[in-house]
Chains A and B, each alone.
Chain A
Amino acid sequence: QKEVEQDPGPLSVPEGAIVSLNCTYSNSAFQYFMWYRQYSRKGPELLMYTYSSGNKEDGRFTAQVDKSSKYISLFIRDSQPSESATYLCAFSDPGAQKLVFGQGTRLTINP
């Protein structure tokens, strides 16, 4: 079983749609949960991070964590074409000092 599973897509939605991105994980030691966005040929940028179950909202972005199911989600409301990119989930446990990334979901938001 892979440590992190993420559907690679591609996912295509119209402008203004609500986007739902998901990852599952198997390592119970993961305590930090992150979402990164990566544009083509660029480094990843951190969008959201959380360390507890529940929802965390930041503008049009909502990160959701369900530790009991080992499942995390990122919701993007009113999605914009400029947000077309690859979205990566990432996980960390306090002892390891390193991130484990999902495969990334390629998202296209069509005008």
Chain B
Amino acid sequence: GAVVSQHPSRVICKSGTSVKIECRSLDFQATTMFWYRQFPKQSLMLMATSNEGSKATYEQGVEKDKFLINHASLTLSTLTVTSAHPEDSSFYICSASDSGDYEQYFGPGTRLTVT
């Protein structure tokens, strides 16, 4: 149980375009979803926390107008990278949590390359 999927697993886009990444909890209801970014050989950096039906809470330094997060249902959250630039190239990982449960279940990640 507690499976989280992400789609796509890899995406290459041109500079200036937007990219949408989906995160789904397959066998449980995720009241809270988290989005992380991970650069090579570095740890996971939390970008934002989203609760179903509410606006996402962004970490300091993360541009909310650039990284649009939607958590419209208990099983789906999306991250849209708008007007992507090469410096946005990274590994994006989502995680999901049940209500009241500190434990997070991680997706397999999405590798974004902006050319």
Complex formed: what's the CA distance from A106 to B43 in Å?
A: 11
Tell me the B3-51 residues at the A interface (CB within 8 Å).
4, 6, 32, 34, 41-44, 46, 49
Given the known interface contacts A41-B91, A101-B43, A104-B43, the answer about A46 and B103 at a Cβ–Cβ threshold of 8 Å is yes
User: How many residue-residue contacts, CB under 8 A, span A and B?
Assistant: 46
Query: When the two chains form their complex, are residues A92 and B43 in contact, meaning their CB atoms are under 8 A apart?
Result: no
Does A103 touch B at the CB level, under 8 Å? Answer: yes
**A44, A49, A88, A104 — which one has the most chain B CB atoms within 10 A of its CB?**
A44
Number of interface residues of A (CB under 8 A): 22
Majority DSSP secondary structure for residues of B touching A = strand
Query: When the two chains form their complex, are residues A43 and B107 in contact, meaning their CB atoms are under 8 A apart?
Result: yes
Query: When the two chains form their complex, are residues B108 and A43 in contact, meaning their CB atoms are under 8 A apart?
Result: yes
Tell me the B39-96 residues at the A interface (CB within 8 Å).
41-44, 46, 49, 91, 93, 95
Query: When the two chains form their complex, are residues B103 and A49 in contact, meaning their CB atoms are under 8 A apart?
Result: yes
Partner of A45, one of B32, B42, B43, B106: B106
**A32, A43, A49, A98 — which one has the most chain B CB atoms within 10 A of its CB?**
A43
Residues of chain A at the chain B interface (Cβ within 8 Å): 6, 8, 32, 36, 41-46, 49, 88, 92, 94, 97-99, 101-104, 106
Residues of chain B at the chain A interface (Cβ within 8 Å): 4, 6, 32, 34, 41-44, 46, 49, 91, 93, 95, 97, 102-109, 111
15 new A-B contacts, CB < 8 A, other than A43-B95, A92-B102, A101-B43, are A8-B41, A32-B102, A42-B108, A43-B4, A43-B106, A43-B109, A46-B103, A46-B105, A97-B102, A98-B34, A99-B34, A99-B104, A102-B43, A103-B43, A104-B43
